[in-house]
């Protein structure tokens, strides 16, 4: 029996030994760090020698740089993310950068650039185009931007720093490896020798995420790191300082609508009817074709008359009069934009203007960058000729953010808020032209982008009369509401709406339905209509209809409502009282001054109120 049992025992022992060896092997395998190394070209996703990875503030970007003849080029969109002041003209292949005093121009493929009128040589082409993509030399971008960079080879990569402030470092205690992920089985990215300083990104008990100075991001054992040390990244970039032509008085400006050359003569009645006015802005210029040419109604006699009365003339340029003009096309072509700038400056010099008031409205978001570039370029020539540049703006909203008021304020001297047309001809409901909440919020939001000493608060001299004409079931919605427009209503309508471009491309929706609770089995529709008119006409209208308006704290103005021939009229009244509420906002926030749309619509008593707040 013993002889029969012994072989079984031997086999069993052998199996146990084999199992122990397998277990030991698995254990050794589990706790033995892998020596596999990750290919860095694969790590950086580099497919050719003409590419370079970009590591920005210790983050590996998906975007790649272009390498040509040892020169690093960045995609234009990335350049914009570093420094939005760079502007690329896709139509004429021209790069521009505007400083506080100079205009830098680069043509694609050229190894030179101009600073205003001076030509500067460069060691290599600054801008390259490849199909629809534009690239700008990194070293050129760096001249005007707040970032540092280092270039490394094998593989090609750029390590960039654009965020400044405190960061943590640690020192490697003994030779080890930087791994792709936390864990000894993760591939090796680099060998780290003792005393190597690394940047700590994400501390952890076992594995800490770190970055090397040459832009490799990975993990090391936490126990192999020293205590962290806080260091500070300091920028050597010196930000530009911007100067402005500032008046030593509060701006009291009136927009004066001039639609014909003969209408310039009205200045002799408009100006004497005002009090304390120190700036007047006649609507003299407008874009007249897609090449940047302007139509002009300017008058030297007008300017001389104003100067004799110590009133400055800041002529307005608009884009709403000639419907054949494509403003985006004018602004996005450098040659056409230059033509527009030169035409305005030439006219300002010819007619001895004190300033230019830009009122380009109803722009589309795709024109935003070109519009800001226009303001930059115009500002340089205005400053060179001692011409004040002011720019009219809507109250801030998400859909007008592309007007970039903060950038405007760096280059323009004054920013005017058109704090009116809260409700306008195309609105789908009746309401105030400029309630106090609308005005206050507009000022507060503008102050987030523009210093108070540059803000001019634009206020309305006009009121909108709303009419709701009922349409009972079965009647045509085209029923004429027979609104009792005063003689000058059409003129006032054009003036009020054309100065605020949010209305320029919109048509009135006159079919607004509401339910009438008085009808059980049917409902009532009404057509909504409105017209803008002056303060005196509103007084006459209320008087003739025997209406006593009531004060609305919420709106900061009087409200009137009455029924005439079955039509309901609603009026949020702009007068001296409502104007004073807006002037209180101007004073509270210590703004640069006020402006009024338009001269000739006001009642005489408003000027005594205005000069209380604007001396």
Contacts of 314 (CB under 8 A, 6+ apart): 253, 279, 280, 281, 353, 354, 355, 356, 357, 388, 390
Calculate the average pLDDT of the chain.
Answer: 90
- Who's near 126: CB < 8 A, 6+ residues apart? 95, 106, 110, 111, 113, 136, 137, 140
List Cα–Cα distances, 250 to 279, 451, 491, 586, 592, in angstroms. Answer: 10, 15, 30, 11, 6
Average pLDDT, integer, range 305-319: 98
Contacts of 76-85 with CB under 8 Å at 24 or more apart are: 76/133, 76/134, 76/135, 76/136, 78/54, 79/136, 79/141, 82/141, 82/145, 82/147, 82/162, 83/141, 83/144, 83/145, 83/146, 84/407, 85/144, 85/376, 85/407
pLDDT at 511 exceeding the cut of 80: no
Give the model's pLDDT for residue 79.
Answer: 97
Is residue 22 over pLDDT 90?
Answer: no
Q: What is the token pair recorded at 460? A: 């309305």
**What are the domain boundaries of the chain?**
43-152, 164-233
pLDDT band, residue 517 (cuts 50/70/90): very low
CATH of 43-152, one of 3.20.190.10, 3.40.50.410, 3.30.457.10, 3.40.1710.10: 3.30.457.10
Contact 411, 242 (CB under 8 A): yes
Report whether 66 contacts 54 (CB < 8 A): no
pLDDT at site 93: 97
Non-local CB neighbours of 55 within 8 Å, separated by 6+ positions: 61, 157, 158, 159, 160, 211, 215, 217
pLDDT at res. 359: 98
CA distances from 258 to 392, 456, 488, 493 (A): 18, 21, 15, 15
Q: Are 67 and 47 in contact (CB under 8 A)?
A: no
> pLDDT value at position 201?
97
Q: What's the confidence (pLDDT) of residue 312?
A: 98
Q: Report pLDDT for 194.
A: 96
Cα separation, 46 vs 605, in Å, equals: 73
Cβ-contact 364, 505 below 8 angstroms: no
Helix (H, G, I), strand (E, B) or coil at 583: helix
Q: Is the pLDDT of residue 270 over 80?
A: yes
Which has the closest alpha carbon to 471: 510, 413, 437, 506? 510
Smallest CA-to-CA distance from 541 within 566, 565, 567, 562 is with 562
Q: What is the pLDDT of residues 535-579, one digit of tens each?
A: 999 999 999 999 999 999 999 999 999 999 999 999 999 999 999
Tokens of 166: 């405190």
What local confidence, expressed as pLDDT, does residue 131 receive?
84
Inform me whether the pLDDT recorded for 513 exceeds 70.
no
The two tokens of residue 347 are: 């006219």
52 near 149, Cβ under 8 Å?
no
CATH 2.30.30.40 corresponds to the domain 164-233: yes
Structural Rg of the chain based on CA atoms: 35
- Residue 9: partners with Cβ closer than 8 Å, 6 or more residues away: none
Shared fold status for 43-152 and 164-233: no
Q: Which of 103-117, 231-245, 362-376, 502-516 has the lowest mean pLDDT?
A: 502-516
Decide: pTM greater than 0.75: yes
Question: Is residue 524 over pLDDT 90?
Answer: no
Q: Give the integer Cα–Cα distance in Å for 147 and 162.
A: 5
Distance CA(315)–CA(294), nearest Å, equals: 13
Q: Which residues contact 346 (CB under 8 A, 6 or more apart)?
A: none
CB 342 within 8 A of CB 302: no
Q: Which residues contact 451 (CB under 8 A, 6 or more apart)?
A: 409
Which of helix, strand or coil describes residue 377? helix
Q: pLDDT, tens digit, for every residue of 451-463? A: 999 999 999 999 9
pLDDT of residue 503: 45
Q: What percent of the chain has pLDDT over 90?
A: 85
CA distances in angstroms from 515 to 481, 566, 568, listed in the order given: 19, 17, 15
Please give the Cα distance from 377 to 330 (Å, whole number).
Answer: 14
- What is d(CA 468, CA 450) in angstroms, rounded to the nearest whole number? 40
Sheet holding 127-130, edge to edge: 127-130, 133-137, 71-75, 59-68, 51-56, 157-161, 148-152
Which region among 49-58, 213-222, 346-355, 504-513 has the lowest average model confidence (pLDDT)? 504-513
Bridge partners for 390 per DSSP: 357, 414
pLDDT, residue 425, reads 94
Q: Please report the DSSP string for 2-41 in residue order.
A: HHHHHHHHHHHHHHHHHHHHHHHHHHHHHHSPP--B--HH
H helical segments located in 109-241: 138-142
Angle subtended at Cα 243 by Cα 241 and Cα 248, rounded to the nearest 5 degrees: 145
- pLDDT band for 15, please (50, 70, 90 cuts): confident
pLDDT of residue 25: 56
Tell me the pLDDT tens digit for each residue of 120-165.
999 999 999 998 899 999 999 999 999 999 999 999 999 999 999 9
């Amino acid at each position: 029996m013993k002889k029969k049992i012994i072989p079984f025992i031997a086999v069993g022992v052998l199996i146990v030994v084999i199992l122990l060896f397998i277990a030991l092997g698995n254990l050794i395998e589990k706790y033995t760090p892998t020596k596999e190394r990750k290919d860095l070209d694969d790590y950086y996703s580099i497919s050719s020698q003409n590419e370079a990875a970009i590591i920005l503030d210790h983050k590996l970007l998906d975007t790649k740089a272009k390498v040509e003849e040892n020169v690093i080029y960045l995609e234009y969109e990335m350049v914009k993310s570093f420094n939005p002041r760079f502007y690329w003209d896709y139509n004429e292949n021209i790069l521009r950068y505007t400083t506080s005093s100079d205009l830098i121009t680069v043509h694609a493929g050229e190894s030179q650039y101009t600073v205003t009128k001076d030509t500067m040589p460069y060691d290599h082409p600054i801008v390259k185009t490849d199909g629809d993509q534009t690239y700008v030399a990194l070293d050129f971008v760096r001249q005007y931007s707040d970032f540092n960079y280092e270039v490394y080879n094998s593989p090609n990569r750029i390590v960039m720093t654009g965020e400044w402030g405190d960061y943590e470092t640690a020192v490697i205690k003994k030779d080890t490896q930087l791994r792709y992920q936390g864990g000894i089985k993760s591939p090796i990215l680099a060998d780290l020798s003792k005393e190597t300083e690394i940047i700590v990104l994400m501390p952890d008990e076992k594995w800490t995420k770190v970055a090397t100075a040459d832009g490799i991001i990975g993990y090391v054992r936490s126990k192999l790191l020293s205590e962290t040390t806080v260091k500070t990244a300091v920028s050597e970039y010196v930000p530009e300082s911007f100067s402005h032509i500032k008046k030593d008085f509060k701006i009291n400006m009136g927009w004066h609508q001039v639609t014909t050359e003969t209408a310039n003569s009205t200045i002799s009645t408009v100006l004497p009817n005002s009090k304390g006015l120190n700036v007047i802005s006649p609507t003299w210029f407008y874009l007249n074709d897609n090449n940047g040419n302007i139509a002009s109604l300017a008058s030297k006699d007008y300017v001389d008359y104003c100067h004799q009365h110590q009133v400055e003339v800041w002529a307005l340029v608009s884009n709403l009069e000639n419907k054949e003009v494509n403003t985006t096309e004018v602004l996005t072509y450098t040659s056409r934009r230059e033509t527009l700038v030169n035409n305005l400056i030439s006219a300002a010099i010819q007619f001895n203007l004190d300033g230019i008031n830009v009122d380009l409205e109803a722009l589309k978001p795709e024109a935003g960058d070109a519009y800001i570039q226009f303001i930059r370029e115009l500002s340089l020539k205005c400053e060179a000729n001692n011409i004040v540049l002011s720019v009219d703006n809507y109250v801030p909203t998400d859909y007008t953010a592309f007007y970039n008021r903060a950038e405007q304020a760096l280059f323009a001297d004054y920013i005017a808020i058109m704090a009116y047309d809260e409700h306008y001809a195309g609105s789908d409901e009746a309401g105030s032209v400029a309630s106090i909440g609308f005005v206050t919020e507009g000022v507060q939001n503008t102050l987030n982008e523009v210093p108070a000493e540059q803000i001019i608060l634009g206020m309305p001299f006009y009121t909108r009369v709303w009419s709701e004409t009922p349409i009972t079931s079965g009647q045509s919605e085209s029923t004429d509401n027979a609104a009792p427009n005063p003689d000058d209503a059409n003129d006032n309508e054009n003036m009020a709406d054309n100065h605020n471009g949010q209305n320029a491309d919109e048509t009135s929706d006159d079919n607004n339905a509401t339910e009438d609770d008085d009808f059980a089995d049917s409902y009532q529709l009404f057509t909504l209509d409105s017209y803008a008119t002056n303060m005196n006409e509103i007084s006459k209208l209320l008087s003739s209809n025997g209406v006593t308006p009531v004060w609305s704290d919420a709106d900061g103005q009087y409200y009137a409502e009455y029924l005439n021939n079955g039509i309901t009229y609603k009026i949020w009244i702009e007068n001296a009282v409502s104007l004073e509420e807006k002037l209180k906002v101007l004073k509270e926030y210590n703004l640069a001054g006020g402006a009024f749309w338009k001269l000739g619509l006001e009642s005489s008593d408003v000027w005594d109120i205005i000069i209380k707040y604007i001396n």
